[in-house]
Amino acid sequence: MAHFNISKTARQLQRSVMRDLMKYAVDPDIVSMAGGLPASECLPVEVLQDCADRVLSRDRSEALQYGPPFQPLKEWIANYMQKQGVDCTAKQIHITSGAQQGLAILSRLFCDPGESAVIEAVTFTGVQQVTVGRRLLVETVPTDLQTGVDVEALERAFKRDPRPKMAILIPNFHNPLGVSISMEKRRAILALAEKYAVPIVEDDPYSPLRFSGRAVPSMKALDRSGMVFYIGSFSKMLAPAARLGWIVAPGELGDRITVLRESLDLESSQLWQRIVFEFLDQEHLEPHLDRLNSVNRRRKEICIRELQKHLAPLGVHWTDPQGGLFIWLTLPEGIDSMRMFRRVIAKKMAYIPGGAFAVKGGYQNTIRLNFSNLADDQIPVAIQRLAEGIAEERQEKGQ
Ligand SMILES: Cc1ncc(COP(=O)(O)O)c(C=O)c1O
């Protein structure tokens, strides 16, 4: 067999631990809280079908061609951002293939391999892929489970010489932690970004998924110094398969972002951009989000009720998010959720061990639960099975 000398970058990219673990989760009887999926039954199949029909009948071959970013969609997004207090124009909107591509583009915009970036010690695996995976030097900062990222640690990281080239934060309904950054901390982080001239990449696929509490302005909406680069996504608010997201960036960097994006995959699908625009233009988003978020709220409440019943007596703590898709569990010290996974899978329940999100290791006694994509009556079954697994682990350890 031929021997290939593959690049350091390809070698550096970590195979997702979860992909390996999920091999064991193929049994259809498994109740899974492992994914990061919006409720499948809430995906607006009929409405999107209708939008697709209309787009194809009206736009014909244009909808299937190469083409520039679909201007009406850019304008819709600019208007949406303005309504949330972000001062921007359509020129500053860059349509991307999902938030993940936004992360990939901004990582390339700011950092060459070997340069340093700040990320949270526990973060979405896609953030790790565009930093550690690109051979950047990462400085990690811890995140408080009530108020979000540790601002003092952030300042220590920003002060380093050489200065980090960017910081990536997930301010709303963090994946995997479920926490949102408090208003006070948002302002403090913006002051640090300005003081130390470190751009903040605000990765925000989840803010439209608020189901309780009061909306908090995005970091971009509070930003007066222009240090925040915002990333949004239609994946969680509408449909992951659309593969559409956006970056809000200063006009003067527009050409660079356009070229970086072209170097990755040329452009987003004309068809999907038009279908999504049709959906938005026909004002389907609000009723869709109302429905999605009420299902998410109900499922989160069921989940918390069951955690209280079965896991509190076992010494487990959790975050109680006001939106998004995830709850983060902290188990008693000494219980290794990666090791416990096989035991729990044998009971036909799946979760993600928190260690899979830990950039520099640790966090073995943590778990991420996705509450949105399991039927209401299956959530108690899943939590019951998880509780049995934890009780057995504790017993084995004589706890
Ligand atoms: C925090 C965060 N950022 C980015 C993404 C990528 O989303 P998209 O499907 O828009 O590429 C995800 C997906 O789970 C996420 O949780």
All domains in the chain, ordered by first residue: 12-44+287-394 (3.90.1150.10), 45-281 (3.40.640.10)
**Residue 330 scores a pLDDT above 80:** yes
Is the pLDDT at 7 greater than 90, yes or no? no
CA 89–ligand 1 middle distance (angstroms): 24
77 CA to centre of ligand 1 in angstroms? 18
Please list, in sequence order, all residues whose beta carbon lies within 8 angstroms of the beta carbon of residue 351, skipping any fewer than 6 positions away: 33, 34, 337, 341, 344, 367, 368, 369, 386
Could you read off the pLDDT of 317-326 as tens digits, one per residue?
999 999 999 9
Q: How many residues does the chain have?
A: 399
Mean pLDDT, rounded, for 4-26: 73
For 244, half-sphere exposure in the C-beta direction (CA atoms, 13 angstrom radius) is: 22
Going by pLDDT thresholds of 50, 70 and 90, the confidence category of residue 25 is low
Ligand 1 center to 306 CA (angstroms): 27
Distance between CA atoms of 354 and 42, rounded to whole angstroms? 27
In angstroms, rounded to a whole number, what is the distance separating the alpha carbons of residues 145 and 26?
32
Q: How far is CA 214 from CA 189, 210, 217, 234, 343, in A?
A: 21, 9, 10, 22, 40
The CA distance from 387 to 24, in Å, is 19
Q: What does the alpha-carbon distance between residue 100 and residue 92 come to, in Å, rounded to a whole number? A: 18
* pLDDT at 2 (0 to 100): 75
Closest CA to 147 of 120, 180, 119, 178: 180
Q: Residue 166's beta-bridge partner residues?
A: 117
Per-residue pLDDT band for 6 (boundaries 50, 70, 90) equals confident
The DSSP bridge partners found for residue 228 are 200
Q: Please write the tens of the pLDDT for every residue from 262-298.
A: 999 999 999 999 999 999 999 999 999 999 999 999 9
**pLDDT digit string, tens, across residues 108-135:** 999 999 999 999 999 999 999 999 999 9
Tell me the DSSP string of 87-147: ---GGGEEEESHHHHHHHHHHHHH--TT-EEEEESB--HHHHHTTGGGT-EEEEE-EETTT
Write down the pLDDT at residue 387: 98
Distance, in Å, from the CA atom of 248 to the CA atom of 52, rounded to the nearest integer, reads: 27
Q: Indicate the pLDDT class of residue 17, thresholds 50, 70 and 90.
A: low
Mean pLDDT of the chain: 95
Average pLDDT over residues 231-243: 97
Residues 173-228: tens digit of each pLDDT = 999 999 999 999 999 999 999 999 999 999 999 999 999 999 999 999 999 999 99
Quick check: 93 pLDDT over 90? yes
How confident is the model over 3-21, as a mean pLDDT?
76
Q: How many whole angstroms separate alpha carbon 123 and alpha carbon 232? A: 17
What residues pair up with 370 in beta bridges, in sequence order?
A: 326
Q: How large a percentage of the chain has pLDDT more than 90?
A: 90
Counting from 1 in the atom list of ligand 1, the atom nearest the Cα of 234 is: 10
Cα separations (Å) of 110 from 97, 104, 134, 164, 200? 19, 10, 12, 10, 11
Q: What are 140-187's pLDDT values in tens digits?
A: 999 999 999 999 999 999 999 899 999 999 999 999 999 999 999 999
383 and 307 Cβ atoms separated by less than 8 Å? yes
Virtual CA dihedral for 378, 381, 387, 391, nearest 10 degrees?
A: -160
Q: What's the confidence (pLDDT) of residue 67?
A: 96
Quote the pLDDT of residue 60. 98
What residue has token string 């949105």? 372
For residue 16, what pLDDT is reported?
67
Banded pLDDT at 27 (limits 50, 70, 90): confident
**Atom from ligand 1 closest to the CA of residue 100:** 11
User: In the beta sheet, which residues pair with residue 148?
Assistant: 144
What does the alpha-carbon distance between residue 255 and residue 237 come to, in Å, rounded to a whole number?
A: 28
Sheet strands (E) in the chain = 31-32, 93-96, 116-120, 137-141, 143-144, 148-149, 166-169, 200-203, 228-233, 245-248, 317-318, 326-330, 349-350, 352-353, 366-370
Mean pLDDT of 376-391: 98
Distance of CA 72 to the CA centre of its chain: 26
Q: Please report which helix (H) or strand (E) contains residue 328, including its range.
A: strand 326-330
Q: Ligand 1: which of 207, 209, 236 to mutate, most ligand atoms within 8 Å of CB?
A: 236
Ligand 1 pocket by Cβ (under 6 Å): 36, 98-100, 124, 126, 170, 175, 203, 205, 233, 235, 240, 245
Residue 56 C-alpha from the chain's centroid: 31
Tell me how far the alpha carbon of residue 257 lies from the centroid of ligand 1, in angstroms: 19
Expressed in angstroms and rounded, the spacing between residue 99 Cα and the centre of ligand 1 is 5
| Mutation choice for ligand 1 from 233, 237, 328, CB with most ligand atoms inside 8 A | 233
Torsion sign over Cα 93, 98, 100, 105? negative
Point out which residues pair with 143 in neighbouring strands: 149
Residue 36 has pLDDT above 90, yes or no: no
Best CA proximity match to 296, nearest among 202, 386, 369, 203: 369
**Tokens representing residue 155 in the block:** 């300042």
What token pair was written down for 276? 């999504």
Specify the pLDDT at position 12. 74
Mutate to test the pocket of ligand 1, among 94, 97, 100, 246 (most ligand atoms within 8 A of CB): 100
